[in-house]
Chains A and B, each alone.
Chain A
Amino acid sequence: MFAIDISNIGVTIAFMSVLGLVLSGVLAIANRKLWVYEDPRIDEVEELLPKTNCGACGTAGCRPFAEALIQGELTPANCTVSSSEEIDEIAEYLGVEAGDVVKRVARLACAGGAHVARQRAHYDGLESCRAAAMVAGGPKSCSWGCLGMADCEDVCDLDAITMDQHGLPVVNTAKCTACEDCVDICPKGLFSIQPITHRLWVACNNLLHDEEAESECEVACTGCEKCAKDAPDGLIEIRDNLARIDYSKNSLASPIPIERCPTGAIVWLDEVKGMRKGIEAKHIIREEALPL
């Protein structure tokens, strides 16, 4: 029953070797005749990829993906098929840039949460600071202060910003990568990127003075100049009724200038205890929003 047909085997082997020869021959010739210069790194990166050509990365296959990687359009992690070690390897090959020397983070120049800052009106519309700012500057009395509608939280891809119970954004400095997205989106320009070593901080942006400022917000900078007087020479200056810190003299900074601030608009950012206000600062224990 299991008769072996020798001639058939012969034909098979002949066919296969001819096939192999022809194919490799054609490829070899094509390789010479049709060769085009390409970035050699593409080959190298492609080598590191799984070459399943599955298209899961959204490109047309592993080679286009490699090209996109080299052009920086995509990141190695876009390849869902590679294991994390493989991804690391590719990232290493491509050379990820070295980390920052001093970490920089986003800082907010306002502390006027709903419990201390007054509202002038009721805003009704798109829940967005940008949108609200375009309607008569927003419902807040203070024209400079945080509107608390979380555009910054929304744009932060790293989830580094969360809104606290008074509607103020809190930056998680561990997650913040100083990408400036929040700086760009805030309609009031309240965010700035600061080296994390800048610890003396004016948490207000209001340009009114005295009672006018205080009537709008209990933690406003009133321009009373106490901090400027207590600080070492030139570290703090009052311009347009607002205290301004000259960070080129950051080495002189200490918690001393915050001590006599009556509203607590100038603060010291402690590594462990977080935001600290001076002893003179009004103690605010109210939790609910201020009435109109």
Chain B
Amino acid sequence: MQSDSLIFIFLNTVLANNFVLAMFLGLCPFLGVSGKLNTAVPMGIATMFVMLVSSVCAFAINKVLVALDIEFLRLIAYIAIIASAVQLVEMGLKKYSPTLFRSLGIFLPLITTNCAILGLALFQTFKEYNFSQSLVYAVGAGIGFILAITLMAGLREKLLLSTLPSVTQGAALSLMLGGLLSLTFMGFAGLGNL
């Protein structure tokens, strides 16, 4: 499989190089909002949505920056524009679709200041993806994030019913679970190489 083919990019970002479990991006929501499935899943979906938005924004802005020969402003431009775009989407949602806002919108501010979004924008630029590759990359990263946070939430919900030792509650347990999930996802390493 060609390493720049869309299907490879997709599988690779979902499984082998999962943003959360292999690349360490977006850990704050992964650890923080994975306590319950009914918050984790909307959170994942909202993240994927923001990823798409920021992927498109970043792609456009990068063209401008390169044209003006001011690539060193990339970071500032990306983050400022992504943050504003998300804030705009949030306000729009709040106004025009309160129900959607209640289920997804509340996660938006949390997502803006999260590495996965900016990381996605930066990596797609470093890897010099074209527009469709960038989109697939964003979708893959988003689905990978949903996968990771949903699995985590499922496990944590199940563990709510266990009698955990007193020291393994809270953050330590989440991290250990994250470690074991990450160990599991190592099985996908190199998927699509041969």
Contacts and interface: CB of A to CB of B under 8 A. Distances in A.
Interface of A: 8, 11-12, 15-16, 19, 23, 26-27, 30-31, 33-36, 53-64
Nearest to A7: B69
Nearest to B36: A58
B87 A63 contact: no
Contacts of B80: 19, 23
A265 B106 CA distance: 59
Contact of A54 (B32, B84, B107): B32
Most buried by B among A15, A16, A30, A61: A61
Interface stretch (B91-99, B125-133, B176-184): B91-99
B73 A12 contact: yes
A15 B70 contact: yes
Interface of B: 28-29, 31-33, 35-36, 39, 43, 68-70, 73, 76-77, 80-81, 84, 87-88, 91-92, 94-95, 98, 106-107, 109-110, 112-113
6 contacts: A8-B69, A15-B70, A26-B88, A27-B87, A34-B92, A60-B43
B166 to A, nearest CB: 14
A30 B91 contact: yes
B105 to A, nearest CB: 9
Contacts of B109: 53, 61-63
Nearest to A63: B109
Q: Which 8 A-B pairs have the closest CB atoms?
A: A55-B32, A61-B110, A34-B91, A60-B107, A53-B110, A34-B95, A55-B33, A64-B106
A11 B69 contact: yes
A168 B87 CA distance: 59
B45 to A, nearest CB: 12
A54 B88 contact: no
B95 A55 contact: no
Nearest to B88: A30
B113 A53 contact: yes
Nearest to A12: B70
B70 A61 contact: no
B84 A58 contact: no
Contacts, number: 78
A55 B92 contact: no
A61 B84 CA distance: 17
Given A15-B73, A53-B113, A55-B28, A60 B35 contact: no
A15 B70 CA distance: 9
B84 A56 contact: no
Nearest to B34: A55
B28 A16 contact: no
B84 A26 contact: yes
Nearest to B28: A54
A83 B4 CA distance: 48
Contacts of A58: 32-33, 35-36, 39
B181 to A, nearest CB: 18
Given A8-B70, A55-B28, A36 B94 contact: yes
A26 B85 CA distance: 9
B68 A11 contact: yes
Contacts of B88: 26-27, 30
Contacts of A11: 68-70
B157 to A, nearest CB: 13
Given A15-B68, A36-B95, A61 B81 contact: no
Most buried by B among A26, A53, A63: A53
Contacts of A54: 28, 32, 110
Given A36-B95, A53-B112, 18 more contacts: A15-B73, A15-B77, A19-B77, A19-B81, A23-B80, A23-B84, A30-B87, A30-B91, A33-B95, A34-B94, A53-B113, A59-B39, A60-B33, A60-B43, A61-B106, A61-B110, A63-B106, A64-B106
